[in-house]
Amino acid sequence: MTLLVAVLLTLSAGPQEKAKITVDASEVPDVQEWANKARDLCETWYPIICEALASKDFTPPREVRLVFKDEKKGIAYTSGAKITVVADWIRKHPEDYGMVIHELCHVVQSYPKGVGWITEGIADYIRNFKFEPKPTTPRVNPKSSYKDGYKTAAIFLAWIEKTKDKDIIRKLNEALRTNTYKDDLVKEWTGSDVDALWKEFVATQ
């Protein structure tokens, strides 16, 4: 059984959050086929991400727009429920559907005020450990920092989840969404502050 099938079966018993996914590739019609596949992917993964990042009294956006732009720099970015994708990136990296999953996480997160490394870390956690899981956990450069966010922070968060607090993603997500996050919470939940946790984590690499 694949992870995707397992996740879908697990979630089938619970509430599903669906959204209308619309695509606009009018500016770059050559990527329309890729855009349609991205839309289909979002339709499948939106309820999965909503379940993974659920919190009390929160309703995720009901409509998500994917807009493809004829730009040469960057990859993608999210504003509210609108994901803008740089067409030149996908022309050069047609396999990178994980980028769409990362941005879709930002739509669901809807944090009023994010904490950079956590916001990006959670989005890449969903991408790397749910959408694109590897047989073995990737390693990080010991000279890097959790403050780098993205994949480095994702691997760090996965380690905290495995070794310190299995609910760390849910707790961080809820704290950021309710704008109640403070660094002391991590120590309260795990017994160590973030810097001490990072030092312990790096020693395992």
Q: Which numeric CATH code is attached to 14-109? A: 3.30.2010
Which residue shows structure tokens 């969903």?
A: 126
Contact 80, 65 (CB under 8 A): no
CATH 3.30.2010 in the chain, residue ranges: 14-109
- Classify residue 144 as exposed, middle or buried by CB count within 10 Å of its CB (0-12, 13-18, 19+): middle
The pTM assigned to this predicted structure is 0.89
pLDDT in the model for residue 103: 98
d(CA 112, CA 40): 28
d(CA 19, CA 22): 9
Contact 202, 155 (CB under 8 A): no
pLDDT in the model for residue 13: 32
pLDDT in the model for residue 162: 97
pLDDT in the model for residue 8: 40
d(CA 194, CA 176): 16
- Enumerate residue ranges in the chain where pLDDT < 50: 1-15
